Structure 1
Amino acid sequence: MSYFLPETDPVLTACRGLALTHPDTIALCEQPLYLKATAPAPTRRVALLSGGGSGHDPLHIGLLGAGGLDAVVPGETFASPCNAQIHAAGLDVAQDRDGVLVIIKGYTGDVINFRAAAERLHARGIRVDEVVVRDDIASASAGAGRRGTAATTVVEKLLGAAADRGADLDDLAELGRRAVARSRTLTVCARPHTSPATLRPAFDLKPDHLDYGSGIHGERAPRSIPRPPVADLVHRMLDDLGAGEGPPAEEGVLLVVNGLGGTAPGELAAVAAVAAEQLAARGTTVAAVLTGTLATALDMAGISLTLTQLAPGWLQLWQAPVTTPLTTWPRAAAAPVLITPPTTDRTLMAGRMPGARAVLDHYTQIITQVRTPLTTLDQQSGDGDFADNLLTGLRHALTRVEETGEDGLTAAGAAFLDHVGGTSGPLYGLLLDRLGTATAACPDGHRPALPALTKAFAEGAAAIRRVGEAQPGDRTMLDALTPAVRALSLARESDDSPLTTAALAAIAGARDTAALLGKRGRASYVGAHTLGSPDPGAIGVALLFVALADVYEPTFAVRLPAPGYIVKPAPAP
């Protein structure tokens, strides 16, 4: 449990502390937030950029420095950073370099935001390539593919050493992809992490059971098992990792025993000894072993085993010198080095629209009202951060309206795109940005024209499909958005309540997701655990339509159910 994190800006405050205790190796940019290595090897031609949600410490910041990463972009807890942060960090480290290699954990939000930032960097003439780490075998069959977990440490260490030797962008990208292809990880959990939102265990786990195949965002495994003796557990994990199968690796294997935040170092060392002995019995040469708390899930009690089949020359890269927080003792505290980030052009729209501002205010009130049950729903699908991320974006939008005078929903689109990471942040940003084009063009307080509304929502849905690679039926926000768009397209301009009708369709679509297995995003990792509970992203879209109907069609919106009902789990069949 996080007893000692500040209530306000905990991630930023933690980053300030890291810069304070490592002033000779780390510099901090506070807005947008990222950290940068201050003393990279002069032989380095390509910058290495990584990051992801907080709560996995010391990943990635633990590998920031000489022999490691050039910049790290932290998101909120269990949520990817937004692409504005990544873009700013990329611009910074690209100076006097031949390119930037971005290293991405294979989570949907991370992939979307890092790729969006890479597109922006490429548009500025910067050479960019990517390595997506997908090492978690427990999520291999999920629709979104394997997650990126503890093997990220291995990939980043190998790439850091190769970059210091002067490798070019193409060679580094190839090395990273080969390392990913030769790495596998499996995670087990004995005690779930404590949800920062509820201060309770993120999910229920029977006594004397293990969650077998957990994710580092606290995602439930497809199954739990009775807790076996440690030797039997390690044997089963090595079987599932394919240890000893096929021809032996040319240079042996690298074994990483990782703690998830609540496992003692002695336990990790013991598991490493058991695993190394069993690997030797299988005829597998263990060339190197790393144990420690490396890629965590807040305070989860658990372990992961990673096996990387070493290719010729990789062991030398693994053993190359490195100066990072993960491998060096902190020096005396000093004032942190602050960065002024490169500026980007921004065109601000003028003209506040009371109707759209009322929608923004009302939507914020609704999400605040249902924050706790919405968090509970999200914990059953993933990590439980959806409601807080949604509120973060809405609060940024309210601030932006006051500062710029923008239309409320135009401001919301920009706020989500610029300030909210994770999976939902950029997708909601795309939807709200399109919706803002309809509300900004209508007279004060009037409902936007039906064709403009229909076009905005249809374009938003199309953008979400392109970026998120989801379709209706995948248990995503599209399952609420698609029927609502259909209802709008069938309405006539003369109708009194098209938004109320669309809201009813969105609510029905969102509620129906309780019967769907997730095929995209984090819900795809947890299997049947989501059945009976509607998708939180779809619920969020339905509540947006409720807010629109309440503001623009108050006489007819009384037909809509209360938000508290909409968020409730579906009744048992």
Structure 2
Amino acid sequence: MTYFLPETDPVLTAARGLALVHPDKVEVNAAPLFLRARAPHPDRRVGLVSGGGSGHEPLHTGLLGRGGLDAVCPGEVFASPHNRQIYEASVAAAKSEGVLLVVKNYTGDVINFQIAAERLRHDGIPVATVLVDDDLATDAADSATGRRGTAATVVVEKLLGAAADRGATLAELQALGTRVVAQSRSIAVAARAQTSPTTSAPAFTLDAGVLDYGVGIHGERGTRTIARPAVDDLVRRMTDDLLDALPPGPDEVLVLVNGLGATTDLELHAVSVLLNEQLAERGLRPVLTVAGTYTSALDMSGFSLTLTRLDEGWAELWTAPAETPLVLPRPMSAEAAATTGDRAPERPVSDAPATTSAPALATGSRVVLDRYADIVAQVRDNLTKLDQLVGDGDFGDNLSGGVRRAVKLADESGADGVAALAEAFLNDVGGTSGPLFGLLFQHLAAAEPAAGQAPSIAALAQATAGAHAAIHRVGGAQVGDCTIVDALAPAAESLAAAAEGKPAAGAEDDSESAQAPLTTAAQAAIRGALSTASLRPRRGRASYVGDHALGVPDPGALAVALLFVALADIHEPTMATRLPAPGYVTVL
């Protein structure tokens, strides 16, 4: 099993857990299963009841309480609740003017909620329903079922909860819910299906580089499979489809960016910015933007976008106080947000000449930057895979992102390549390795010659030794600790030997160091980097995984070695042909 759920009564146990965590808000009725709000608002004239299959949390149960629902009926995973659950929950939640049922448009939900409604009417309890059908992917003219109900249910339940607390009547609540549904549309996309609780395997499989477009929240396949575009292109496509399907209405909208279970907040917040930009380009004003996991599909990797055109007063209903397990964000007004937009910190103004974090150089090192950029682009994925085995998997992206930043700096300012690398990595690349590489580039920048000239081996030897010393002072790493020092130290020793006219350790013959000192230094760095595979890391993130790192060369050490490969390729192109290909060096 991939889920940490008990084998017996998992849904009931989870319901009890919610009540355990929120004892002031939630009580559980076990037979039949439903959850009820402990302290509903005293001004309510109508009880609000909803529910559906489990596996969509925090949908429904998270909105139980003041400002939300009075009762929730959870079915088994992806299965509708039984009509008896809904009936008894409604009887328990009904107020003086009856009960309103919020139903997602799935066949099992519709049938069981309608049967419960018939039983309530038979008992003389006033009842009405709101059917949520926001999923534009299933909007087919020849479908008798109609659109599915998905993430817009969150919007409906929150607005209805606030209106019910204000004493709205059953007819008023039904009209409001119906209007909100009519002005809401959603679309979802997935890169990986949810894991089936029965088989512990993905419910369906997708080839690499494709997405399922128009998936449902029960793991239903999308209406089509598409080649995976860049995320901004994907959001643009989804926005176009939403606006094509959304009925005309007010230009002010509520934006809900919803994760399907395995999508991180980092991704959802980034998507929310892209969506807001798309809407602004089309003349719409996102008054409320909400990003998070609100309607999940177990652990599906994907997200949905929901747009709701806002009538007058609806924004106030969304931001009205609520006391529920799920704390929905209450965005500031658009006017207040306009005064707190993105601002980059201003650099202090000085009359002193502008300087960078590395000495200004002639244009000779730009070709080194370009060559290193080519190499890093080739091996980024390999470095990422290696880092996933011993760290957090971000090294390849951090390195390539820093190099791209350096290329941009060099293009915009005319700074030489190694100086641009120093500035980019010292100022803009985070993590542990970024600033350490910045120190290395800073020292090497001082050794670069004028355009068209080969670097002085003595200057390079001094710069490499200085970088080694600085990195040791900052992080304490020594040879044998399984860090970038394991590649840098042998390169420094090789260059120092060449500067003194001595053979470098490991050179094939006594003349090799003199004939090709950079190639020899690159070979030494490669040997040092590859030797880290036999070391148990003593510093850095890899030290946390202990023996699991054995057999995996340190990605940072490999990146240092490849920097010396780039230097050799540019300044000793004939001799550098004996160096192994970068892709070969970085493959486990």
TM-score w.r.t. length of structure 2: 0.55
Q: CA deviation at 1:278?
A: 1.1
Q: CA deviation at 1:206?
A: 1.2
- 1:371-422 deviation digits (Å, cap 9, x = unpaired): xxxxxxxxxxxxxxxxxxxxxxxxxxxxxxxxxxxxxxxxxxxxxxxxxxxx
SS of alignment partner, residue 228 of structure 1: coil
Could you tell me how far apart the structure 2 residues matched to 1:245 and 1:209 are? Answer: 26
Q: CA deviation at 1:249?
A: 1.1
Higher relative contact order (CA 8 A, sep 6+): 1
Structure 2 letter corresponding to 1:314: W
Could you tell me how far apart the structure 2 residues matched to 1:226 and 1:255 are? Answer: 26
Could you tell me how far apart the structure 2 residues matched to 1:206 and 1:247 are? Answer: 37
- 1:52-72 deviation digits (Å, cap 9, x = unpaired): 000000011010000000000
Structure 2 letter corresponding to 1:31: A
Could you tell me how far apart the structure 2 residues matched to 1:217 and 1:153 are? Answer: 16
Q: Which residue of 2 aligns with 1:285?
A: 285
Structure 1 letter corresponding to 2:168: A
Q: CA deviation at 1:3?
A: 2.5
C-alpha spacing 1:61/1:244, structure 2 compared with 1 (3 Å): closer
C-alpha spacing 1:319/1:10, structure 2 compared with 1 (3 Å): same
Q: Which residue of 2 aligns with 1:18?
A: 18
- Unmatched runs of 5 consecutive residues or more in structure 2: 330-588
Could you tell me how far apart the structure 2 residues matched to 1:27 and 1:283 are? Answer: 45
Q: Which residue of 1 aligns with 2:115?
A: 116
Q: Which residue of 1 aligns with 2:136?
A: 137
Largest Rg, 1 or 2: 2
Q: Which residue of 1 aligns with 2:194?
A: 193
Q: Tell me if structure 2 keeps the 8 A contact 1:244–1:284.
A: no
Q: Tell me if structure 2 keeps the 8 A contact 1:244–1:283.
A: no
Q: CA deviation at 1:204?
A: 1.6
C-alpha spacing 1:71/1:2, structure 2 compared with 1 (3 Å): farther
Q: Tell me if structure 1 keeps the 8 A contact 2:184–2:246.
A: no
Structure 2 letter corresponding to 1:36: R
Q: Which residue of 2 aligns with 1:223?
A: 224
Could you tell me how far apart the structure 2 residues matched to 1:144 and 1:84 are? Answer: 23
SS of alignment partner, residue 268 of structure 1: helix
Structure 2 letter corresponding to 1:43: D
Q: How many residues align?
A: 327
The aligned runs of 1:410-421 (5 Å cut-off) are none
Q: CA deviation at 1:244?
A: 10
Q: Which residue of 2 aligns with 1:37?
A: 37
- 1:464-504 deviation digits (Å, cap 9, x = unpaired): xxxxxxxxxxxxxxxxxxxxxxxxxxxxxxxxxxxxxxxxx
SS of alignment partner, residue 261 of structure 1: coil
- 1:46-88 deviation digits (Å, cap 9, x = unpaired): 0000000000000110100000000000000000000011111
Q: Which residue of 1 aligns with 2:394?
A: none
Q: Which residue of 1 aligns with 2:159?
A: 158
Q: Tell me if structure 2 keeps the 8 A contact 1:248–1:284.
A: no
Q: Name the % identity.
A: 60
Q: Tell me if structure 1 keeps the 8 A contact 2:49–2:70.
A: yes
Q: Tell me if structure 1 keeps the 8 A contact 2:184–2:306.
A: yes
Q: Which residue of 2 aligns with 1:296?
A: 296
C-alpha spacing 1:208/1:284, structure 2 compared with 1 (3 Å): same
Q: CA deviation at 1:246?
A: 7.5
C-alpha spacing 1:182/1:47, structure 2 compared with 1 (3 Å): same
Structure 2 letter corresponding to 1:264: T
Q: Which residue of 1 aligns with 2:92?
A: 92
C-alpha spacing 1:328/1:319, structure 2 compared with 1 (3 Å): closer
The aligned runs of 1:229-240 (5 Å cut-off) are 229-240=230-241
Q: Which residue of 1 aligns with 2:4?
A: 4
SS of alignment partner, residue 242 of structure 1: helix
The aligned runs of 1:40-59 (5 Å cut-off) are 40-59=40-59
Q: Tell me if structure 1 keeps the 8 A contact 2:150–2:217.
A: yes
Segments ≥4 residues shifted beyond 2 Å: 243-248
1:65 matched to 2:65? The reply is yes
Q: CA deviation at 1:90?
A: 0.8
Q: Which residue of 2 aligns with 1:168?
A: 169
The alignment's C-alpha RMSD in Å is 1.5
C-alpha spacing 1:283/1:207, structure 2 compared with 1 (3 Å): same
The aligned runs of 1:174-189 (5 Å cut-off) are 174-189=175-190
SS of alignment partner, residue 243 of structure 2: coil
Q: Which residue of 2 aligns with 1:501?
A: none
